[in-house]
Amino acid sequence: MGQPTVIDGDFETELRHHLHHFIWNKRDVGYFPLHALKFAPSAVHDTHLAFLRAGARIIRTNTFQASLDEAKKFYNLDLSEYTALIHKAVKLAREAVENYGKEMGYNLNSEEYKRSRPLIAGVCGSHVILTSLTSPNVNNPRRMVKRKEELIKFHESRVKILLTANVDLLAFQCICTLEETKAVLDILKRYSQVRAWISFFCKEHGKLNDGIEFGEVAALCHNSLPKQIIAIGVDSLQPEPIIPFMRIASEFRTPKIPFLLQACKRHIYTMRIYTDNELSMMMPLDDIKEWFKFGLSYIGGGPYTDAEDIKQICKHVENFYVSSVQDSPQPFTSFKPQSYKNNKALAKL
């Protein structure tokens, strides 16, 4: 028997519930999570804690927007100051995990707690998406023309700091192009002990912004680093049209490609019964067993989901079971805390 691991939801949406008197420049409103990291750290901590209380087993650091370029632009930070900012983000997530452990009555020094505590994923946001926050047309092909070496430089500065801060794994989110995918894979090859997931920003027809098929990049990632990449996901306002492409990408593989699905509110609260044709395009969480058959290993909240939505996802997952071991995808992780430096723990994966 197995079941998908629940991750947190949309950090920005939940963060808004905890920013009571925070004021930001309207011109920079798209960057308010980054500003909160610097000026409202208690709200960041409380956001993480809310997701943990809701049942999330993996929380993501508030570093999607925290690239070195953005830190320089908004705060004129040098490298040492930027390093401190990223370490602060990881520390806030770790404090939330520890406070949640205390609430649950764990001895934080016990082996039981160390084996079972929630994980912290260090987040790296896409270069294209971050650029789109200041230049809204994300489909502008000229902005996507970025050499792999430049993209490696963009991501690696943050990756190095997240790893020195001792996150359990990395989460590359909203990757939009094949070139950026290759840059991420090259970075991961340099850190062979690191585990990560990669999620892609896809359009409804199952293609990235540069026209590459989702199935193609999913197979590339899985084939390139099967022992490092624990899951491949989709970032989309409406992920259901991508589900058939997930199925196709994994249909004839043993083991299946492990997928991460970030469910939108329509998934979470849809309870009615669907016809077979409808299920081919959209499956409510009641049918999580069907998703599991083609490789679903992780599930969390997509855009505009908060801690209350994660509670609903957890209820669906708790009701889920697999009747036959043969129908289950091979696990890619023990779902236990894994510092990337912990060779003994990594050997269990």
345 falls within a domain: no
Give the tokens for residue 176.
């939009």
User: Could you tell me the CATH number of the domain that includes residue 116?
Assistant: 3.20.20.330
Give the total number of structural domains in the chain: 1
Q: C-alpha angle with apex 71: 146 to 30, nearest 5 degrees?
A: 80
16 falls within a domain: yes
Supply the Cα-derived Rg of the chain in whole angstroms. Answer: 19
Which strand (E) or helix (H) includes residue 124? strand 119-125
339 falls within a domain: no
Taking the C-alpha atoms of residue 138 and residue 171, their distance in angstroms, rounded to an integer, is: 21
Instruction: For residue 100, give the nearest of 127, 118, 81 by alpha carbon.
Output: 118
pTM for this structure? 0.84
125 falls within a domain: yes
The phi and psi torsions of 340 (rounded to 5 degrees) equal -65, -15
Residue 24's pLDDT is 58
334 falls within a domain: no
346 falls within a domain: no
Q: Which amino acid is at 202?
A: C
Beta bridge partners of 256: none
Give the tokens for residue 293.
């058959």
Is 149 exposed, middle or buried (CB count within 10 Å of its CB: 0-12, 13-18, 19+)?
exposed
Instruction: For residue 13, give the nearest of 33, 36, 28 by alpha carbon.
Output: 33
**pLDDT tens digits in sequence order for the chain, 349 residues long:** 367 899 999 999 999 999 876 655 555 566 888 889 988 999 999 999 999 999 999 999 999 999 998 888 888 999 999 999 999 999 999 999 999 999 999 999 999 898 899 999 999 999 888 776 655 444 554 455 578 899 999 999 999 999 999 999 999 999 989 999 999 999 999 999 999 999 998 876 778 888 888 888 998 999 999 999 999 988 766 656 666 666 666 665 667 788 898 887 766 665 333 344 443 334 455 556 666 777 788 999 988 899 999 998 888 888 765 433 334 443 333 334 445 455 444 433 3
Q: What range defines the domain where residue 313 resides?
A: 5-272+281-325
343 falls within a domain: no
348 falls within a domain: no
Taking the C-alpha atoms of residue 116 and residue 265, their distance in angstroms, rounded to an integer, is: 28
Strand, coil or helix: what is 241? helix
Taking the C-alpha atoms of residue 268 and residue 311, their distance in angstroms, rounded to an integer, is: 10
